[in-house]
Structure 1
Amino acid sequence: MITHQHPLFLKSQTTWIFRLTVIAALFLIATTTFAQVSLPKVFSDHMVLQRNTLIPVWGKGKPGTQVTVMLAGNKASAFAGKDERWMIRLPQLKAGGPYRLEIFESNNSKPVIKFEDVLIGDVYLASGQSNMELQVQQAMNADEEISNAQFPNIRLFKVEHNKTITPQEEIKGGQWQRCDSTSIKDFSAIGYYFARELHKELGIPIGILQSTWGGTPVEAWTSREILLSSHISRTKVLSNDTITPQHFVNDSLDLIRFWEIVYNPQNQSDQIYPDPDFDDSQWTEIQMPQTLKNMSIPDYEGMVWLRKEVNIPKDMKGRDLTLNLGHPELNYTLYFNGEEICKTIWNAEPEHIYSIPDSIIKAGPNNLTLRMAFLWGGGGFNPPAKEMYISDGEKKISVTGTWKYQKDLEPEIPFINNYHQYHSFLYNAMIAPVVPYGINGFIWYQGENNVDNAYNYRKLFPLLINDWRIRWQQGYLPFMYVQLANYMKRDSVPMESNWALLRESQTETLKLPNTGMACIIDIGDANNIHPLNKQEVGRRLSLIAKKMIYQEKIQASGPIFKNFEVENNQIKIRFSEVGSGLSVQNGEVLKGFSIAGKDKKFHWAKASIKGNQVVVTAKEVPEPVVVRYGWANNPECNLINKEGLPAVPFRTDNWNATEK
């Protein structure tokens, strides 16, 4: 609709628009002139500041500007330097609050910045890759845990993902939040359960500053300067000097296309290949269940279509059926007789069970089709075969055996450089900007992405620990970390293992002062690199904190190898951290030990507990030389102390372990 207005009204309207524009401009000038001071994003409402230490508060301001900070009756001032930076350290405070943190500039009597609901307590930086990043809503007992997550004095800060070529002064995003059923959902499960254990026992505010990114090596979190100091990492660091911000842009565009293909069928493939009448006679046959590493398409990345004919007997018609797919790859779409049953995105649930409506089921041949993303060495179905079937509640029809597959039916997915895995790029963007925020220590879970270079981890990991301690300038800040869990198919005979080698490197890191390691060799998952029992992981980390930091007289570790001696055909092993004594989990036969003679051939050993020693023998090894325990990707080992904490895997030899 077109309307006409009186000329005088238009003139009046123009005048008011002009006046409002002038007022807005003056307000903008006044604001710009007035607000000369800024603080980094790690400061916000609801934050926790570290108790019993000088509290660092820093930011930027116009050179020469006097900055005054007030908190809980304490006041301190500093001047912004020529580089615009200023730093103030407030006096130590005991746990408490809530308080208001106020920032004043020059002689202004009113604060230019203020933060409300500030608590004083203990703050921990939680970092690492996907097992530390795994969210409460993805972990065990998620619904119950989320509904019960009402802890207003636990505060959570999640640093937004970012990667940069040089160290930054500011993170990309994030803010402190109170712990409740909304904020906790996508927060680190381990970080939360660790905080909850401490908060319940200590009764003080706990802050968790989460800076995590899945699928990342330890080098990504370490500064360039420290990595250049080691010949192991120096060459790789220097080779990255040709990377520019434009490389990040190009990679981001490729990444968008990458996920567009993964999540959305291309070339009308979802209309063609799920059709029961589609002719798949030229497709390749393959036996299922098995994974990409065992299939005839190793190292392939992209979309793969899989089909299988399933015969349903007449007596199973007339009711909905249940399809159990066992443990397929995480991203897939399932079709039954051409009808889409589900579309999963990162489905890490232990069970993949679906209802197939009777309306689409036929007596006789039926078609089962999957569109599956084969990414990063994953793809196919993990054993066991017994979990792949169709059932009416009484009868089961196996869907294992012969399947047909075809790749390259959709566009090739772009190659992604994954710059978040590059040396120092995460340190630059996600660690450097939060230094020197006051903390009480670190918790860390990482190592899966260093398994291929497991021996060198014993040098690379300490580099990171020393690096961070130097940056924070708080002495030997407590560094608590998780040893890799058991994972993958269990071996029937003793053999070499990069996972075991990396665990050994993690144990070696205990030589650094003020470090503690939570062993979780008993709670992993053969079929899931992300074991879901994060409650116990958080609890075991909290035991270390309670003993190392809060000086509680508790047992915080399982038995750790101390020494051994050979006596005739026996090896006698002694341990530290035996607690109330050695024991066997669930009262079973002691397992997990192997011994070898000079021929370096290992055999499973019979083991028994004698006081605080374990004695091992093997009839195949009359003259044993060395012993190993839990030395496998997924070892069957059950030595514990009477406090229920598992013995740390170890070996007494150094065979087949060299620096790369």
Structure 2
Amino acid sequence: MKASLIYTIILSFVLCLTNTNLASAENEVQLKGIWKFRVGDRMDWATTGYDDSDWDDIRVPARWENEGYHGYDGFAWYRIHVKVPEVFDNRLLELHLGYIDDCDEVYINGVKVGQSGAFPPQVATAYNAKRVYKLSGEHLHFGEENLIAVRVYDSQLEGGMVSGDFKLVALATKPQFEVDLSDEWMFNKGREYDKESAKPIQVPGIWENQGYNNYDGYAVYSKSVFISNEVGNKRLVLMAGRIDDVDQVYINGKFVGETGQFKHRDGATMCDEFRNYFIPIEFVNGGQDNLIEIRVHDDRGEGGIVEGPIGIITQDKFREYWKSKRRN
């Protein structure tokens, strides 16, 4: 009797582990293994039409010095073709690329989706930053092969996609956005929007990992988005993700709201809060481009619009999204 009970407990434990592993496998595409690799730097290497059949094979993760490129410092590209399951559609996605030495840009099917560090002439290393890029899914072909291309620059010593997890992960169902804002924004230091000094930045993402290492202070994210007449006449919510530390939001120059005390730089308790701003209908220009500004102050540590989801959603869909999260 006792032996039978022990056997039953062990069997249940094994089945539990098996089911957990299967569930994990269903939500992941592993990227460890053999990628295509070439030293040098050409932007057409990011495109789907480029033929990489004569490129070298390289193991990922690994220091490229250990893969036959001893002593090489400079630019190099990695490419891999992967099939993304159809069940990943309408899900929040993360691309995990471990640790890369020194800096990188990431492209999916020719579209830039992320960056860590800064490239020459003003190099900023991000060798110690774990790469987890949030993807909107709009650039992926579900149920088909997709190209992931990674541009890497190493300034000295070890280089390449050196360690950590390499995988595409499907998370919860994403909000039904009218406008998905997980994409490239413009970014400038200072309290107000400055079109002349603004430079591209990926959102969401920590600004320290995108060339603004050790920067604490004020900065402005800006993005011009088209909103149709149909959408503009609805009650809308801006889901602005998690911001570190405090922020103010403007649409077309009109103040929408803030989290924390922006002017007094008091945001120590706000860095874990996800921002949701209800937009007055008269602030939106239907059938036109609309300028969104998110003004941020970071007091210490990591800064910026660090985590999604980020987008514009109707109030009805917003309520359904949060109801579904509570049910789950």
Give yes or no for TM over 0.5: no
Structure having the higher helix fraction is 1
Structure with larger RCO (C-alpha < 8 A, sep 6+): 2
Structure having the higher strand fraction is 2
Q: Which has the larger radius of gyration?
A: 1
Q: Normalized against structure 2, the TM-score is what?
A: 0.36
Q: Normalized against structure 1, the TM-score is what?
A: 0.18
